[in-house]
Structures are given as structure tokens and as C-alpha cells.
Amino acid sequence: MAEIEPAGMPKVKRKPGRPSLSNEELLDKALDLFLEKGFAGTSIDAICAAAGMAKRTVYSRYGDKEALFKAALSRAIDEWIVPIDRLREQEGEDFEASLMRIGEILVSNVLGPAGLRLLRLTNSESVTMPEISLENVRRGTEPTLQYLADLFRRRLGNNKGDFPEAENAAQAFLSIVVGGTASNAAWGMRMEMASVERHTRYCVRLFLHGLLAETAQPAESEAGQLHSLLRDAEDRLCEARARIEEATRLVRD
């Protein structure tokens, strides 16, 4: 027989169960598994076990595994994108120095944890799901290309802001400055930061001075030689800083 609680006695409240993970936490758990085992090798059961969540809860948020994968990938893109305002903040009077700073930010972004994770996921799954690469380009690459094209129009165009090759120049900048490093990283090549920075700076100069070669180049002057010396000194300082950071990381690890 069930016991009857005495009248007037307060009811004992049940302890709440384990709180459900937020969507962001669930997507992060799923993304880690997709990266480790691939889309085909990851099951909803494994994701639920990693997240400590019931299958019905996952299915109520996302209808199937593919929808969950694309949502997790969309979150990865959000974390990876460099805000255009941050790129604009790098602009200054010295156009070459501005492009150096922009290039370094974009390369560093590709080599960061979010960038590498996104590269590996899209490369491994884009054959069976080409739409994920298109989404990556639409949300991540296209805004950057539009910004660069606008920058080239403003800095290299005529007094009306016309620069017919602006879109091509923007694409070339990303391909030359960022593309090679991104490809190396996607193939698992480990690069020292000093080498990455030196390569980035070289590529920016190769791009810019190749672009400016279409116009008449001024004769080498004393001021030009001084600029070259300052540029070399800046390169050496940048390389020294990168080596110090690398040494500090090794000691810390």
C-alpha cells in the first residue's frame, strides 16, 4: 500500500536531471566526431553518447545526421570568418604595409584551430556533398573578395574609382598570399611561424609589385633604397619575433 503523506507536510521536490546541452555545445561535440571519424563513420548514437543527450532530443533539433552535420559545419564557418571591419582597421597610408597586415591576418586565420578544422572537414566531405564547399565560399570567401576588390578600386583606381581588374586582383591576392599556405596546411604540412610570416610577406610583395608593373615604375632613388633597407629590417624583426614566440611555446609545452 502506498504511504500517505501527513497533511500539512511539504512535498519533497525531485532533483532536476542533467541539464540539456545548448545547441552550440551539441554542435561542437558533433563537429569533433565528424572531424575524427568522417561523416560516414560518425553515428547519431556516438554523438548522443559524447553529448550525454537522448536521441529523441537530437532528432527534435535536427531531423537527421546530414542536417546535424551541416549545422555543425555552419557553426565552424561562423567561428572562422574574419570580420571585414577587422580587415578595414589594417588600412593605412602605406598601401604595401596595409596589405602585409591584411595578408598576415588571413593566413593566421587559415592556420588557426578553427581554420584547420574547417579545411579538413570540407576537403574530406566535399566530394559527396559539394554544397558544403559552396557554402564555405559563399559565406567565408566571397565577403573577403568583395572587400579586397573595393580596396583595390579605392587605392589603385583612377580619380573616379575605376579599376577594371579589381575582382581579378582580389582573387589573385587570395590565391597567391593565402592559397598556398592553406593547401600545405590541408595536407598536414607543419610550418614554423617564422617561415609562414616570411613567405606571406614575400607573396604580398610579389603580388603588389607585379600588379604595379603594369604602370611606369619610378627609377631607383635614394629614398627608394632607404625604403628597401627599412623593409628588410622589418622582415628581420618580424622573423625574430616569430622565433621568440615559437621558442616560448616549446618551453611552455
Q: pLDDT (tens digit, 9 = 90+) per residue, 148-192? A: 999 999 998 877 778 888 999 999 998 899 887 777 766 667 777
Other CB atoms within a 10 A radius of the CB of residue 167 amount to 15
Which domains are delineated in the chain? 23-75 (1.10.10.60), 81-213 (1.10.357.10)
pTM value > 0.85:
no
Q: How much is the pLDDT for 101?
A: 94
Give me the long-range contacts of 192-198 (CB less than 8 A, separation at least 24): 192/242, 192/246, 193/242, 193/245, 193/246, 194/239, 194/242, 194/243, 194/246, 196/107, 196/111, 196/242, 197/104, 197/238, 197/239, 197/242, 198/235, 198/238, 198/239
For 101-121, how does the pLDDT look when each residue is reduced to its tens digit (9 = 90+)?
999 999 988 888 888 888 788
> Which residue's C-alpha cell is 570568418?
81
pLDDT at 242 > cutoff 50: yes
Least confident residue range of 30-39, 71-80, 206-215: 206-215
Mean per-residue pLDDT, 52-56: 87
Phi, psi for 190 (deg, rounded to 5): -90, 130
| Higher-scoring residue by pLDDT: 28, 193 | 28
pLDDT at 210: 80
User: Average pLDDT for residues 117-133, to the nearest whole number?
Assistant: 77
